[in-house]
Amino acid sequence: MTLDYDVAIVGSGFAGSVLARVLAVQGYDVMLLERGTHPRFAIGESTTPLANLSLERLAKRYGLRDCYRLAAHGRWLAHHPELRRGLKRGFTYYRHHPGEPFADRGLDSERLLVAASPDDAIADVHWMRSDVDQHFVREAIAEGVDYRDRVEVTQAGFDEGGATLRGVRLGEPIEIRARFVVDASGPSGFLARQLAIPSGLERTRTRAGLVFSHFAGVRTMRELLPSLPAGPYPDDWAAVHHIIDEGWMYSLRFDDGVTSAGFLLTPRGVSSLGDAASGGADRLWAAMLERYPTIGAAFADATPTMPIAWLPRIQHRLTRAAGPRWVLLPHAYAFVDPLFSTGIAWGLRAVERLGLMFEQAASRDRVPEVAVLERYERALAAEADQIDTLVAGAYESMAQFDLFAAQAMLYFASVSFAEVGQRIAPDESVAWRGFLGVGDPVLEPLFGESLRRLSEMTRGHGTAAVIPSEECRAFAQWMAGAIAPRNVAGLADGARHNLYPVDLDVLVERHALLGMTRERLMESLPALRGMSPEPSFPLSYRARTGSADPSRP
Ligand SMILES: Cc1cc2nc3c(=O)[nH]c(=O)nc-3n(C[C@H](O)[C@H](O)[C@H](O)COP(=O)(O)OP(=O)(O)OC[C@H]3O[C@@H](n4cnc5c(N)ncnc54)[C@H](O)[C@@H]3O)c2cc1C
């Protein structure tokens, strides 16, 4: 069977499926290929305001109403209750010490809460990826994408006119001719193998293994620590991070009571576990719960809903992200670490960029030209470096919780500044803005400078380093000053005791940081609160351009 398409997309995670749909809306013939079948488990569940802003922009530009409705917890519940999800009000962190229960020291506890939304209705969402990814595939099919699952592509050859993909579907050979190929296969590295793209892992710093599963019956931290002072939102309805000597743990609660949880363990952390590290995933999991009593208590009666798994290393990185007639989506190109939940937002930003690249393709066969592919590749490389630098700094800072809290401010300052900027800017101008401060003369260099300072303090001892408290204080002060020109969210403020609500008063007060007058900022408040009314759909690309053919804008 030989099939002929404009674009072949390999991999039907949310990123591949949403891109397939965006291109189909533009009038391209798109084939979406999947090795497995949906529904299937996928990791990477916690969204952020930047991810949801991307979804909203894609929704408005291409008429994808479901994307708009899945971009906030309240809208999701109202329109797609059948898709499992969890309420995410912000980012919660606790520091645990081996053999000791978490110390409730009131406002001086080793605890940090940063709200990402002012209320539940417009809050972010944890995606049950099996449901969400299947939904996006169905929507892609409804838009005219030709979706084939259980396809194993074994060969990809490129020539001047495009690519020929050969493989097998249900025992039958399949051949696909496409003018352009998108690798959306995530870490499995489809095009990396076909094009022999060398690894770029050695240029990155972060290293961690992961032991993880989904669990039923996990107790909340609130149940275990009922007298902790109230934070800006209920601690557990968030991406919960437990910082430990060996790395950190994530715990993401879904509304139906299932919790996605995993320990990220540094190589040093793994070796400190001795025999438990080589005894398989269950033994490793049990060893971690035993070492940290409060986490152990939370998971004491929990049962995994699928086998606990161990991945000795989760990082990957390639040296190329695009070339003539092909492109990699971010998760196929690089992955650093789930700390700070950057994956979904970065993936959707790339979908936005590619959507525009195809819209603007002026070549005869309407595929992006080499110059714009090079721009895409440069952007991804700089952003992957930036994520790695931020996360590597965070791992260094885990030695001391106040250092970690200070390093986290760099992330929150960058994303809150970007979020505000995106909410008030015209949609078209956002896609190519750098992710995590890339291209921002104030923020970009801070990531490297912060890592340099932290590495000097820990002197290669990582989380085992003992750092005098005055050095920690000096670092926190430096960070507060360094982020000040972008700090529109009132971060790094000792008076907050590490409990940060969404504070629009601070934002209004700091209007000048956004280059806006107070009055202009006040006018933008409904947009900044995410309170704009739902746009009327369909508001599709076709409706806007009056044409399904992007060569006739
Ligand atoms: C431990 C961990 C936790 C994470 N947590 C978060 C988080 O909380 N928040 C966040 O934003 N991000 C997180 N991420 C990142 C997130 O997982 C990714 O950004 C996201 O999954 C990328 O989606 P995708 O659609 O690009 O690829 P994927 O979800 O990886 O999908 C790839 C698809 O391609 C298919 N495929 C693979 N090879 C082939 C082939 N040869 N042929 C056909 N099909 C193929 C696969 O079956 C799969 O369906 C996390 C990642 C990890 C490892």
State the distance from the centre of ligand 1 to the C-alpha of 102, rounded, in angstroms: 33
Confirm or reject: Cβ of 355 under 6 Å from ligand 1.
Answer: no
pLDDT reading at 475 higher than 90: yes
* Cis bond before residue 324 (omega within 30° of 0): no
Cα separations in angstroms, 30 against 140, 155, 192: 10, 19, 21
Q: For ligand 1, pick from 9, 12, 85, 340 the residue to mutate: most ligand atoms within 8 Å of CB.
A: 12
- For residue 130 and ligand 1, the question of a CB distance below 6 A is answered with no
Q: Residue 505 class from Cβ within 10 Å (0-12 exposed, 13-18 middle, 19+ buried)?
A: exposed
Q: How far apart, in whole angstroms, are the C-alpha atoms of residue 208 and residue 432?
A: 30
* DSSP structural state of residue 233: S
Closest residue CA from atom 4 of ligand 1 = 44
Q: Which residue has the tokens 């195809």?
A: 358
Query: Residue 550: pLDDT above 60?
Result: no
Model pLDDT for residues 212-258, shown as the tens digit of each residue:
999 999 999 999 999 999 999 999 999 999 999 999 999 999 999 99
SS3 percent helix, strand, coil of the chain, rounded to 5, is 45, 20, 35
Q: ω before 226 within 30° of 0 (cis)?
A: no
213, β-bridge pairs: 261
Give yes or no for residue 164 having a pLDDT over 90: yes
DSSP per-residue string spanning 444-506: HHHHHHHHHHHHHHHTT-GGG----HHHHHHHHHHHHHHHGGG-TT--S-GGGTTEE---HHH
Our answer on whether the CB atom of 262 is closer than 6 Å to any ligand 1 atom is yes
Contact 85, 254 (CB under 8 A): yes
State the Cα–Cα distance between residues 101 and 213, nearest whole angstrom. 23
> With a 6 A CB cut-off, is 34 part of the ligand 1 pocket?
yes
Picking from 365, 359, 333, the residue whose alpha carbon sits closest to that of residue 346 is 333
- What pLDDT, on a 0 to 100 scale, did the predictor assign at position 459? 84
Q: In the prediction, which pLDDT does 494 show?
A: 96
The pLDDT, as a whole number, for residue 427 is 72
Q: What region, left, alpha or beta, does residue 413 occupy, with left being phi > 0 and alpha being psi -120 to 50 degrees?
A: alpha
Cα gap 115→450, rounded to integer Å: 23
pLDDT of residue 492: 98
Q: Which two tokens stand for residue 72?
A: 């906030």
Range in 387-401, 455-469, 490-504 with the lowest mean pLDDT = 455-469
Question: Does 248 contact ligand 1 (Cβ within 6 A)?
Answer: no
Could you tell me the pLDDT band of residue 62, with boundaries at 50, 70 and 90?
Answer: very high
Ligand 1 pocket check for 238: Cβ under 6 Å = no
Assess whether pLDDT exceeds 80 at residue 553: no
Q: What are phi and psi of 343, to 5 degrees?
A: -60, -50
The residue among 24, 38, 121, 119 whose CA lies nearest residue 79 is 121
Give the pLDDT score at 551: 43
The predicted structure's pLDDT at residue 539: 59
Per the listing, tokens 């990396």 go with 192
Residue whose structure tokens are 């078209």: 428
Confirm if 316 and 208 have CB atoms less than 8 A apart. Answer: no
Closest atom of ligand 1 to 185 CA is 34
pLDDT at 464 over 90: no
Q: Which residues lie across from 218 on neighbouring strands?
A: none
Contact predicate 49/124, CB 8 Å: yes
C-alpha to C-alpha distance for 470 and 211, rounded to whole angstroms: 35
Whether the Cβ atoms of residue 191 and residue 17 lie closer than 8 Å to each other: no
Q: Measured in angstroms, how far is the CA atom of residue 180 from the centroid of ligand 1?
A: 21
Q: What is the pLDDT of residues 341-352, one digit of tens each?
A: 999 999 999 999
Query: 206 CB less than 6 Å from ligand 1?
Result: no
Query: 247 in ligand 1 pocket by Cβ < 6 Å?
Result: no
Ligand 1 site-directed mutation target among 31, 45, 214, most atoms within 8 Å of CB: 45
Atom of ligand 1 nearest to the CA of 264: 1
How crowded is the C-beta side of 122, counted as CA atoms within 13 Å? 19
Q: Quick one: pLDDT at residue 527?
A: 83
- Asked if 331 and 183 count as a contact pair (C-beta separation under 8 A), the reply is no
Say how many Å lie between the CA of residue 264 and the centre of ligand 1.
17
Q: pLDDT for 394-408, tens place per residue?
A: 999 998 999 999 999
Q: How far, in Å, from the CA of 191 to the mean position of ligand 1?
A: 15
pTM for this model (two decimals): 0.96
pLDDT per residue as tens digits for the range 502-527: 999 999 999 999 999 999 999 988 88
- Which residues, 6+ apart, have CB-to-CB distance to 173 below 8 Å? 1, 166, 167
Strand partners, 211: 263, 310
Average pLDDT, the chain: 94
- Distance (angstroms) between ligand 1 centre and the Cα of 386 equals 20
Ligand 1 atom with the smallest distance to the CA of 126 is: 8
Give residue 36's identity as a one-letter amino acid code. Answer: G
Which parts of 284-398 are beta strand (E)?
A: 303-304, 309-311, 316-317, 322-323, 326-328, 334-335
The amino acid at residue 89 is: R
Best mutation site among 41, 331, 391 for ligand 1 pocket (most ligand atoms within 8 Å of CB): 331
**How many angstroms is it from 130 CA to the middle of ligand 1?**
11
